[in-house]
Structure 1
Amino acid sequence: MQEQYQNRLNELKKYLENQNVDIAIIKDPKNVFYYTGFNSNPHERFMALVMDLNKGNQYLFVPALDQEIAENDSFVKKIVTISDEVNPYKVLKDTIGESVQTIGLETKVISLYQHEQLNLFFTDLNYKNIGDFISQQRMKKSQEECSKIQTAIHVIEKVMAEGIKKVKAGMTEQDFTAELEFLMRKFGAAGPSFSTIVLSGEKASLPHGSPDQKTINQGDFLLIDMGVIVDGYCSDITRTFVIGEETAKQREIYEIVRKSTEAGVNACKAGIRIGEVDIAARNVIKEAGYGQYFNNRVGHGLGIDVHEEPSVHENNDLIVESGLLFTIEPGIYIPGYGGVRIEENVYIDEEGNGKQLTSFPTELIRIG
């Protein structure tokens, strides 16, 4: 892993040199983890990987309370600690010096306040956005990264298998969510990779709805969308079940979505536009007459963040290549009735083939 961190930093350094950047300030905690192995949420405190191109130095600025963990975990060994009573931007200036004209920043991450502080301590600055390069670098996953995501998938599929045994008609969505998140920890996850989605009955028509005190009832669709973080990497899987016996319409909708997901997975290979993956899945739903009930993209990249590049939508012209890892998750969502989503995770392997990493059954499963 040490070699991997060095290679990532070398790629970034080469890019920064080509952009004539004097220093780069990388503040997104997930990006800091990607380059250093140090994984922490600083909340309101200042934390950053700082690359000083002028002097050839790399620093990890961390809150003082994180010093021990940073010294143990970080590949970058020049640790600068910042105590709560000092201005971190003054510490940054004291460490770097004043001969700075161009700063590389993740412009999607930097707040207006942080921008004001940089202007206060470094005058006459130019800024260059380096966030897009970092996103592109992270988009291509190594075999080691794929293995970590595969481990996170194994854990969440175990949670799914055990969790559905605990569903009972009359249980609330929130109670069932609590059971699932208990199992995540029990099976070794650091926690959920996003807020667990458990939706039943007509609420299953809400693609990103939230579980509440609604009871899970006989005849309901039960949509479960969840993932875990293991060793810093995320999984994300969705399955939809029926409580009791399904109706003919429920069976019809379910089978259309199942075929749509399968078509999306089968389309995955190097050399095509990634938009073609969305189109392959979407066409199944359109041709079945339910196109108006699927109005979002078919998937997204998956890695250190649960939502990363690439965005798998029909107008994305990115050419698929080895190393991409993303979700395929079409759905049909009918307001006032309910909905179905089935989600797989796919990796484009070294031969350029789409390798499905998820294995939980997609046949309709009746619960209770």
Structure 2
Amino acid sequence: MTLYKSFIRPLLFKCDPEWIHHTTIQVGHILGTSKPLRHILNNRYHIQDPHLQTEVCGLHFQNPIGLAAGYDKSGEAVPFLESLGFGHIEIGSISAHLSHGNPKPRLFRLPQDQAVIVHYGLQNDGAETISNRLTNIPHQHPLGINIVKTNCGIDAPPDTEDTILTDYLTSVRLLKDKGDYLTLNLSCPNTEMGRDFFADKEHIIRFLQALATENISCPVFLKVSPIYGIPYIETLLEATEGFNFISGFIFNLAPGKTVPLKTKPQTWQTMPGAVAGEPVKEQMNTCIKELYNRMDQNRYHIIGIGGISTAEDAYEKIQLGASLVQLLTGLIYEGPNLIRQINKGLLHLLERDGLSSISQAVGTKNT
């Protein structure tokens, strides 16, 4: 058992999870200002091996493991997080206006399931503030910027199509030149009556038509709901067909508790939010498989998330069709050495399968 799991994690788990999250971001921001410390961490956690390197959407990745959006919501700790061995970092979700998110408590641990329940409600500092911050933050690896509609709170008037699209476009204009790719989060649990605005094909098309006028030069990924099944995947591909600036897709967490849990219901029934971590792995893998089978594999790429805590977890998503993968909850349970462990494990798996690069593994299990 590692030092993190035997000593550090038990101490952290005695504290409020959101306080730990906030504190680690603040500490990471401070530590990230030290070049000598970043150099030490890079030497400790990064694995430099050409077998792990890959090209996706014209971007070069040192390895396929990224940090998912949701951890560094406002881009405060990018240099520090890069030094932990990730091949890319995705920050956000970021909205046009500052949002305080949902009432606390809004983050819960389910240790028996190696999971968390997340109900932050898109807390972030707002696109203009974050855009200014990113101007002064260097990054060595691809940086993704996740954009979402502002959560204005339960007392706000209902959104219209115009207010939703305007909110997204405001953020796009402020952030499109601040990172290496954009992720447009089209699956927000805060939509009226739980219905996803972008479940409607015509809404997707009108949104993409508006984006087409914005001269976005970086790759764009759409982050979508996993709950609508094959018909929605087909609708999504039909809607994006004529918009060549869309480079790929990511599946978001499903709202509510849609996956089986080992934790007794009386523990989590009163906890609002979506499940992240080990329990969602199979749901996400199924989505990746079905999308990869139907999409134009020469055009689109998939970034896979959900339940990654081992090299085998990451490799399975890659074999099902993901060009890159992202994790977050795994860090909570396994600690910062996880990324290095996964990358070392991927090298062994590539050698076992007689492959010379991680890109050769993409889709090999999905035939």
Q: Above 0.5 in TM-score?
A: no
Q: How would you bin the TM-score normalised by the shorter chain? A: under 0.3
Bigger Cα Rg: 1
Q: Which has the higher strand share?
A: 1
**Higher RCO, 1 or 2 (CA under 8 Å, sep at least 6)?**
2
Using the size of structure 2 for normalisation, the TM-score is 0.26
Q: TM-score, normalised by structure 1?
A: 0.26
